[in-house]
Every structure is written in structure tokens, then in C-alpha cells.
Amino acid sequence: MNPFIINLNTYTDTRGIFYESYKNILLKEYNIDFNIEQENTSISHKNVIRGFHYQVKPYSQAKLLTVLKGKIKDVLIDIRKTENTYGRIWEYELNSNIKQLLYIPKGFAHGYSVLEDNTIVSYKTDALYNKDSERGFNPLSSTLNIDWKVNNRCISDKDISLKTFIF
């Protein structure tokens, strides 16, 4: 299965907006079997780049990501060497004004750039974080040639020291 966006139903009235941010039956309609093991939230400044991160077996993670506030450019790399889409890059622009879930299957490296100050990103995972199985790629790998759409980028020392992605 490849990544894709799930549009969520929203209900608006004079009080504001209501939407169901997670509904297991909705995932089943998309043939996604997902049991939440952990939920993570990041609050980031504009121009931050996070990633590319993933975990190897047996701690591989699928993710359901949403932007609660602000705007990001989300980028995924297929790292499943057994698939004909290995190395393919998926790019999405997500913002809190459009209520969506991004489904990220196991076998994808994940990163994103922050396009607005104080952006809040939340994602559920189907496996717990395991430090020993964590891997990643430098988000500025020249082999990827990604336009992160940010100026004066801010990247952690950990992420900038990750290896270059090789096709």
C-alpha cells in the first residue's frame, strides 16, 4: 500500500468547527488495519525541517499524521526495496484549515518542513518508538533534490548528520 490522504468530514456552525479526527471504521473503509500504540505531537517554528526518519523491523511504524495548527510540506520516501516504487518520493502540503489524515505505511522514511510559525503536527503510530531501530536520511541529500519551501532552514544536528539517501 502507498501513502494517501483521507479527507475528514467537518461540521461548521456559529460555535466553530467539529470533526472526528480519528475513527477506526473510517480506516477499515480504506483497508487500513491500524492499532494506535503511541501518539506524538511537535510544535515547530517556521523554517524547521524534521526528518527523514523511520524504524526498521520489528519496530517498523505506520503513521496517521494531521496538522492541528499551521502548515507543512510533508515528504515521504519509499524505502521498501522489494517494491517497484523504491525511491519514489511523495510530497504533500498539509494545513490545519483542511481537515485531513495522511496515511504513511510501514516502509516509508518521513520528513517535513514547517511553513508557518507555531505549527502543531500530531501523528499516531502503530508501534512504539524504539531508539535502537531508528534510522534516517539527511533531508538535504543531494540525491533527493527536494525543495523544502523554507528559507533560513533550521535542522537538528542529528538530522543533518544522517547518511545520504542512495537509490
Selected catalytic residue, list 54, 103, 112, 123: 123
Strands 63-69 and 154-155: what pairing? unpaired
- Catalytic residue selected from 11, 19, 53, 112: 53
For this structure, is 123 an active site residue? yes
Query: In the annotation, is 53 catalytic?
Result: yes
- Residues acting as catalytic residues: 53, 123
